[in-house]
Each structure stands twice: as C-alpha cells, then as structure tokens.
A and B are shown apart, each in its own frame.
Chain A
Amino acid sequence: DTVLTQSPALAVSPGERVTISCRASESVSTGMHWYQQKPGQQPKLLIYGASNLESGVPARFSGSGSGTDFTLTIDPVEADDTATYFCQQSWNELTFGSGTKLEIK
C-alpha cells in the first residue's frame, strides 16, 4: 500500500497563509487529491490531480507537488476553514492520509 503521511495538527490566525503537507511512501505522479472535512460532516473535494481546483471551491485554496511531496495551501485563512484536511492518492490502490487538523486561533 502507498502510505500517505500528514502532520497531525496546525494552528494559525485568520489572514495568514497555511501550508499542509502530504508525503507519499512512493511516487504517485500527480495522482494526489485533497479533501476538507468539517466536524460532523462528510468530506468535500477541494483539489484533484495535485493542483486542479474543484468547481465552487474558493481560489484561496491551491495545491502543488508531484511524485512524493504535495502541499495544500490556504491563503488567506478564514475562520470557516477550521477542519481536518485529508490527502488521497489514486495512482496505486486508493489510500488516504491520516489527516491534518487545522485550528484557526
């Protein structure tokens, strides 16, 4: 299985820029996608194919990376961005990262 490693948690202030990282145990090309999950809700697709913004998602969200290292950037962060962010790869059998919990101070 392709293991995806994410930092467990981050805390930032509104208006700041935040980067959330995801490292794959082997290359997934650009087959990395990002989801946002707010407490008590279902996940929501934000970014697909490493850097493509899903329709309807604010342009404050962006993604980058290829191979094994990927980043989700939120700039500027808003209070409503409090959530857990999961990366997911679909280059090999589909797997998710363990999630990064983002707190807005």
Chain B
Amino acid sequence: SQTIHQWPATLVQPVGSPLSLECTVEGTSNPNLYWYRQAAGRGLQLLFYSVGIGQISSEVPQNLSASRPQDRQFILSSKKLLLSDSGFYLCAWSVPGSGRKTQYFGPGTRLLVL
C-alpha cells in the first residue's frame, strides 16, 4: 500500500531564516505530487505541483520554491521566511493517468514564523 510522509511535523523559525520541508511517498512510482498551504481557519491553496523529476509548476507567486530531486521526493524551500509564510503545509500525491483523480494527503507540517 502507498504511504506519504512529511517532516518535520512542527517547525518554529525566525523571520529571514531558510526553510526546507520534505515529503516522500512510498509504494508507488512516478506519482503526481502537490504542495498546499492552509492558513488558519481557511481552505487549502495549491502552491506547487509536479508530474515528474525536475518538473515543477508554480501556482502562486511567492518567496517559496519547490524541487523534486527524486521520483518520490518533493521538497518545499525558502531562502528567507516571511511572517506570512506561517501556516499548515500539506503534501499530497495522486496516481497519474485517466481515472485516477483522487489526491491523498500527508500528515502535514505546522510552520510558525516569528
């Protein structure tokens, strides 16, 4: 069966510091991968998605970036965090191809920027 992992679970970082959040998927090959952010009391906003190694699409202009160095690894980064980057970050995966449209989410990372 497939599983998705995210770490760290919680992170407190000062403004201006770098960020690296990691997401890995097990039990599947060439998954579509997604990064979402959920601000307090709000729905989810898609940040990035990837359909393959090195292929990243950005949905929202911001100081965050994403990379996919390996087939089942998706990394969210920032060189300098802003206060507005605080939130709950969720990684998700889906099986590529027609008919497989369900996204499955990881446990999330709670980020607090002070």
Say whether A associates with B: no
Contact surface of B with A, Cβ cutoff 8 Å = none
Question: Which A residues contact B (CB, under 8 angstroms)?
Answer: none
